[in-house]
Amino acid sequence: MHILFVLGSLRLESSSRRLANAIRVSLPEDTESEVVDGRELPLFDADLESQPKPRSVQIMIDQVDRADALIFVTPEFNYGIPGPLKNLVDWASRPPFNSPLKAKPSLVISQSISPAGGSRAHAQLTAVLSATLTPTYLVPSFTIPAVHEKFDGDGQLTDALTQMRIDATLPGFLHWVAQEANRSTSG
Ligand SMILES: Cc1cc2nc3c(=O)[nH]c(=O)nc-3n(C[C@H](O)[C@H](O)[C@H](O)COP(=O)(O)O)c2cc1C
């Protein structure tokens, strides 16, 4: 199984990247993963959609295409999802209703330094993904509050509760991804 982590934050030392790293090392050994963010992408512009697409866009679309599942890890910016993440989703959402995002099993995780853990961004991203026909794993919202307290100076996850939530969520998510893959090959 191949998982693509989609980050909402561009900065290299971001909590989103740290969380993604903590989840990556918690994945079963036979699961591959890679990480993408919106750093290299131009702003979405329908004039740029005609073939060939900008190289950075095509690379990202190919990453989404070959992933069995997506795990979004995003902060909340001004009560919403960060612009670069929305831009990435907009590029990946084409052609509408038949894009690489269609039927791609996904998990949405938000984080913030605030007690709400980016819950508004979580809800917004889930709504955005419904527009792209991207199914999201049904668990109680995976939001990480006070995220700055969860890592040590080297960026390693030190919070036992967050690790427990990761460990409690991953098996069910991966099982669902496998079920979805079987469903699409048998039907
Ligand atoms: C421009 C900006 C706007 C923000 N707005 C919010 C917000 O509306 N709600 C919130 O909970 N946190 C907000 N924050 C805090 C970030 O969500 C928080 O610092 C997060 O952990 C940053 O994630 P990162 O380390 O992955 O970049 C904002 C931060 C920035 C830079």
Could you read off the pLDDT of 154-182 as tens digits, one per residue? 999 999 999 999 999 999 999 999 999 88
Determine which helix (DSSP H) or strand (DSSP E) holds 65, and give its type and residue range: helix 55-66
**pLDDT value of residue 187:** 62
Which domain, by its residues, includes 144?
Answer: 2-186
Closest listed residue to residue 180, CA positions, set 119, 120, 107: 107
The CATH number linked to 160 is 3.40.50.360
Dihedral of CA atoms 118, 150, 11, 5 in degrees, nearest 10, equals -70
* Residue closest by Cα to atom 3 of ligand 1: 77
Question: Cα(28) to centroid of ligand 1, in Å?
Answer: 30
What's the structural domain count of the chain?
1
Whether residue 42 is predicted with pLDDT greater than 80 in this model: the reply is: yes
Could you read off the pLDDT of 57-106 as tens digits, one per residue? 999 999 999 999 999 999 999 999 999 999 999 999 999 999 999 999 99
What is this structure's pTM? Answer: 0.97
* Residue closest by Cα to atom 31 of ligand 1: 77
